[in-house]
Amino acid sequence: MQLLSLRLSQVLEDIGVSRYIRTRRSRTWLMEETIKGIRDEVEGNNETLYHFGSQTEGTTTIGMKSDIDTLYCHDSMPVILDRGEWKQEKRNLLVLKTEHSPPQHCWLQRLKPDLPLPETEKTGPSDMVDTEGRVLMTNTQVEICRVIRQTNESGEIMRHGPSKSWNDNEDNVQAYHCVPIQQATPWPLAQT
In the chain, domain spans: 76-155
Read off φ and ψ for residue 126, nearest 5 degrees: -95, 5
Question: 0.85 cut: is pTM over it?
Answer: no
Q: Which residue has the higher pLDDT, 71 or 192?
A: 71
Given a contact cutoff of 8 angstroms between Cβ atoms, the answer to whether 49 and 36 are in contact is yes
Query: Which pLDDT band holds residue 192 (cuts at 50, 70, 90)?
Result: very low
Q: Beta strand pairing status for 135-137 and 163-165?
A: unpaired
- Which residue in 170, 101, 81, 91 sits closest to 135, CA to CA? 91
pLDDT in tens, 143-168: 565 666 666 666 666 666 666 666 67
Burial group, residue 163, by CB count within 10 angstroms (0-12, 13-18, 19+): middle
Q: What's residue 106's pLDDT?
A: 82
The residue type at 97: K
Query: Which pLDDT band holds residue 181 (cuts at 50, 70, 90)?
Result: low
Q: Indicate whether 1 pLDDT > 70.
A: yes
- Which residue in 82, 143, 145 sits closest to 116, CA to CA? 82
First to last CA, the chain: 31
Rounded to an integer, the average pLDDT of 61-70 is 76
Sign of the dihedral through C-alpha 100, 121, 139, 114: negative
Q: What's residue 154's pLDDT?
A: 67
